[in-house]
Amino acid sequence: MPKTEYWQWYVEQFAPTEAHHHAIEETYYAGRTEFQHVAVIRTPVFGKMLVLDGDTQSSQADERIYHESLVHPALAALDRRDEVLILGGGEGATLREVLRRPDVARCTMVDIDGQVVDLSKRFLPEWGDGAFEDPRARVIIGDALAFLREDRESYAAIISDLTEPLEDSPSNPLFCEDVFVDIKRRLAPGGVYVLQASTAGFHNMRLHAKMARTLRRHYRFVRSFFTHVPAFDNDWAFLACSDAVDLAGLEAARIDAYVAGLRGENYFYDAETHRRIFSLPLYLRRELAKDGDVF
């Protein structure tokens, strides 16, 4: 392969001693909002990318792997999907995936950073694919913490598409015992709470295990699942929480029927993929079984 020279690179740390370099073909935006640093760039391999505080949030080439994993196992488990709540999700892709189900009557999305939403509409319209204009979408620019405290609606599914709860992240206050209690209060009987839950890589899976230990205090079923997301250069984990349904045990026929009811074709998720992403390696199962810190 011929060597190509690039003058600019986006470098993301995989670990304190490891890094992933992305050549930048074009920078659409780079700056700081009230809450975080934001960049929208284009790279040769992954296409357009959204970067927040130096961390890749999604890429054009593989964002459907992440967003289909976050949304569809949870919605497939439900008998009713009339009201859905998304916490975060500024790009609009999580909203897009939820609204692919015709039986969703309304999807409320709450994101604190309106500038990220506006930048995504401008530079990443493929992510939303018209979801922001769907009459079933209710988009609220505001603090999800305040929304959870003040809102009185019930939701069949609550989907947390927030950034990782690192100390300098605007989502950090949303990962604590009190907030998890507020989320469960908003969940309808039989509902599912699903969240992106940090990495499942062997070298940095401790945060994911801490999140799982905390949520096991609140729900009968708390299931980890994960998949490799190439743009993240890591195995990315999720948690599905419910008192009514164990997502790891969903039958293939149920998933097939659910997928058949989606508008458009899936890229990643189906019944076979479901079995794979809920089949955890031994090292991760051992980490999840340990006693340890909670939020």
Q: Which residues are designated catalytic?
A: 161
| Residues 193, 160 contacting (CB under 8 angstroms) | yes
How far is the C-alpha of 59 from the C-alpha of 12, rounded, in Å?
A: 14
The 10 Å CB-count burial string (b at 16+, else e) for 154-166 is ebbbbbbbbbbbe
How far is the C-alpha of 168 from the C-alpha of 290, rounded, in Å?
A: 27
| Residues 67, 83 contacting (CB under 8 angstroms) | no
| Residues 113, 35 contacting (CB under 8 angstroms) | yes
Structure tokens at 281: 């390696």
CA nearest neighbour of 200 among 176, 172, 223, 171: 223
CA nearest neighbour of 8 among 35, 32, 37, 39: 39
